[in-house]
């Protein structure tokens, strides 16, 4: 079992003591004002585990009281540690419309890490927030699906899946990726996303049927494709098995 670094234990103990000693008598807003500066400093701590924990603690203080943290969290999209940067991107999504400008800027960045984490946030936004920027975000996600960087492609495919039928304009591109994508996880995400669009992805049926019938393909992915076909055709699994 991995052990926490002494530095992390020490800092976490200080945070716990502060919460126990002074925070009980504060309102949530007062508590956030008192705790946030220290947590923002911890986002730059040398320990990646502490950076990730600080992100969680910021979110725990309440989204309404920690909006000033958004630029700092977006800055951590470039974190060299995958866990720390993904925690930051997932947290940013909870801020919804308040985080949109920074996320959209990151989605157009020259940095693959920043683009990938922007896609994590775009996929995690509530539906009404996705709708606000769908005309801008879908083309960026579609471009990400063809990126040279596998992390960018992975999170673009995941975000497109989470957009559901809002991403139906990308069906032709996603179909073309079935024959090109070599990463099994990304390929599975594309196929699942097409299936979850239901009849809106009927254009994908020929490619999915060919994939599912191909004896050389991964058996698990063939099963994923078979399920996607059922959903697109509007059948349920019990009916399909008859």
102 belongs to a structural domain? yes
What is the number of other CB atoms lying within 10 angstroms of the CB of residue 222? 18
- Residues 6 or more apart whose Cβ sits within 8 Å of residue 50: 5, 7, 8, 11, 12, 42
pLDDT of res. 241: 47
Q: What pLDDT does residue 1 have?
A: 45
- Last-in-domain residue among 66, 99, 125: 125
Quick one: 117 and 186 in the same domain? no
| pLDDT for residue 242 | 42
How much is the pLDDT for 118?
98
Among residues 125, 142, 173, the one where a domain terminates is: 125
Tell me what pLDDT residue 84 has.
97
Q: What is the pLDDT of residues 59-78, one digit of tens each?
A: 999 889 999 999 999 999 99
CB-based contact 204:171 (threshold 8 Å): yes
Which pLDDT tens digit goes with each residue over 117-126? Answer: 999 999 999 9
pLDDT of residue 22: 52
Residues of the chain with pLDDT under 70: 1-25, 215, 217, 236-242
115 inside domain: yes
Burial of 152 (0-12, 13-18, 19+ CB in 10 A): buried
Domain containing residue 69? 33-125
Instruction: Indicate which CATH number applies to the domain containing 67.
Output: 1.25.10.10
**pLDDT at residue 28, rounded to an integer:** 80
pLDDT at site 225: 96
């Amino acid at each position: 079992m991995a052990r926490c670094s002494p530095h992390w234990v020490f800092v976490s103990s200080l945070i716990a003591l502060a919460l126990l000693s002074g925070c009980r008598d504060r309102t949530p807003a007062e508590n956030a004002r008192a705790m946030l500066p220290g947590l923002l400093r911890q986002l730059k701590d040398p320990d990646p585990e502490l950076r990730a924990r600080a992100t969680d603690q910021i979110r725990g203080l309440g989204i309404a009281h920690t909006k000033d943290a958004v630029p700092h969290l977006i800055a951590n999209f470039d974190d060299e540690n995958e866990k720390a940067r993904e925690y930051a991107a997932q947290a940013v999504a909870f801020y919804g419309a308040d985080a949109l400008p920074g996320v959209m800027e990151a989605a157009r960045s020259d940095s693959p890490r920043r683009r990938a984490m922007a896609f994590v946030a775009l996929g995690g936004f509530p539906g009404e927030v996705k709708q606000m920027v769908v005309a801008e975000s879908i083309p960026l996600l579609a471009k990400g699906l063809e990126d040279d960087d596998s992390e960018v492609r992975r999170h673009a495919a995941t975000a497109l899946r989470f957009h559901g039928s809002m991403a139906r304009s990308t069906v032709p591109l996603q179909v073309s990726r079935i024959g090109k994508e070599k990463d099994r996880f990304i390929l599975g995400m594309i196929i699942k996303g097409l299936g979850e669009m239901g009849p809106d992805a009927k254009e994908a049926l020929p490619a999915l049927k060919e994939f599912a019938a191909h004896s050389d393909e991964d058996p698990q992915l063939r099963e994923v494709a078979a399920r996607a076909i059922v959903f697109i055709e509007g059948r349920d699994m019990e009916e399909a098995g008859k």
